[in-house]
């Protein structure tokens, strides 16, 4: 897809089809890259962590502002992260979409514990989530999180802010900046970082070829409703994807959109194209108008035209009183509660460096 605006494939479900060659290396349930319009069907087992989905009662807004928490007291933590995010987006607006997507891909696998950032794990394994098919050579924004981490260490006088919280703050700030201040929310904090990350668990992410039931199942497995699934899919209003990740057929899109996409993808599978060709640089409700008009990249986007979700899509397309932005903020906040780790949990720490565990 075309590298038009420098944006990254956003949050919610930017995954793909993979053909027979990829099957030889392992297919993933719900994530199936396509080559020559053929789809992998072989599946593999996965391990799903077991802690409670909703960790909201273990987090709190202003966690780093509490003086009694001497180990974590740092009143400038959130503003420091925002400064790093704003600086990165001012240089390259696309990195903001990448940060939002990083947060989504982190929370859906092992919960919001920054496991997606790891290059190596406590068990010295390097086959981490970053190497999984939905993520490999696709995720973006790691350097912004690293910069924010170092900035918080300097501002706080030591290693007090977890990488998991930094990622949650950064996704919130990127959403605010890219929406022109329309997506705003206070996000609770107090997350700790995990010490394991496995590429084989990235099959928990939904794919671009998913039908409505598959999407609902993937989100339900994370404690998110069908309505929240539709809402979070609106992140496809910003970012881009490679042509190899586009659905195999365009027969159910408008002729004009299909012609435009084929022309843009003439450069090959690694060419990038905007996921929203109308307002590619803004986090807004245009995506839902695109769904209504069938001018979307993925079959998973078209799935939202189902009678079960069409009314919600139409409401978001009209977007009276910022209906979608308000719902998106609430859904992002809820997603940040998924299977969090907190102080005292087994395998929980505050990493000195976000891409490796402590004492590695």
Q: Which residues contact 221 (CB under 8 A, 6 or more apart)?
A: 48, 204
The dihedral region occupied by 301, where left means phi > 0, alpha psi between -120 and 50, and beta the remainder, is alpha
Q: Are 128 and 157 in contact (CB under 8 A)?
A: no
Whose CA is closest to 353, among 215, 135, 147?
147
Q: How many CA atoms lie within 13 A of 16 on its CB side?
A: 26
Neighbouring C-alpha atoms within 13 Å toward the C-beta of 294: 12
Q: Distance between CA 93 and CA 86 in Å, rounded?
A: 9
The neighbour count for residue 68, using CB atoms within 10 Å, is 6
Sign of CA dihedral 192, 193, 199, 205: positive
Contact 178, 96 (CB under 8 A): yes
* Catalytic annotation present for 105: yes
Catalytic-role residue among 105, 140, 242, 334:
105
CA distance 277 to 257: 9
SS3 189: strand
Q: How many CA atoms lie within 13 A of 224 on its CB side?
A: 32
CA pair distance 290, 234, nearest whole angstrom: 10
Catalytic center residues: 105
């Amino acid at each position: 897809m075309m590298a038009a605006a420098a944006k990254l494939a956003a949050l919610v479900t930017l995954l793909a089809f993979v053909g027979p060659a990829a099957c030889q290396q392992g297919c993933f349930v719900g994530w199936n890259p396509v080559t020559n319009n053929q789809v992998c069907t072989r599946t593999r087992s996965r391990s799903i962590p077991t802690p409670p989905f909703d960790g909201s009662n273990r987090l709190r807004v202003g966690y780093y502002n509490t003086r009694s928490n001497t180990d974590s007291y740092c009143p400038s933590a959130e503003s420091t992260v925002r400064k790093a995010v704003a600086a990165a987006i001012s240089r390259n607006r696309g990195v903001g979409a990448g940060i939002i997507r990083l947060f989504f891909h982190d929370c859906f696998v092992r919960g919001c514990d920054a496991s997606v950032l790891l290059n190596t794990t406590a068990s010295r394994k390097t086959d981490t989530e970053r190497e999984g098919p939905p993520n490999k050579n696709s995720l973006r924004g790691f350097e912004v999180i690293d910069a924010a981490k170092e900035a918080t260490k300097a501002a706080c006088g030591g290693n007090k802010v977890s990488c998991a919280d930094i990622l949650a703050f950064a996704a919130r700030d990127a959403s605010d900046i890219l929406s022109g201040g329309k997506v705003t929310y206070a996000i609770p904090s107090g997350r700790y970082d995990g010490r394991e990350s496995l590429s084989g668990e990235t099959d928990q992410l939904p794919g671009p070829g998913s039908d409505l039931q598959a999407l609902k199942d993937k989100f339900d497995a994370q404690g998110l409703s069908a309505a929240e699934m539709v809402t979070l899919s609106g992140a496809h209003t910003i970012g881009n994807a490679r042509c190899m990740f586009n659905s195999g057929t365009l027969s159910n899109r408008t002729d004009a959109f299909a012609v435009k996409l084929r022309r843009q993808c003439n450069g090959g599978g690694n060419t990038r194209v905007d996921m929203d060709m109308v307002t590619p640089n803004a986090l807004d409700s245009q995506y839902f108008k695109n769904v209504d008009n069938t001018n979307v990249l993925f079959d998973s986007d078209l799935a939202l035209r189902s009678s079960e979700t069409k009314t919600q899509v139409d409401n978001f397309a009209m977007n009276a009183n910022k209906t979608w932005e308000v719902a998106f903020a609430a859904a992002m906040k809820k997603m940040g509660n998924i299977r969090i780790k907190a102080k005292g949990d087994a395998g929980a720490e505050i990493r000195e460096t976000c891409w490796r565990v402590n004492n590695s």
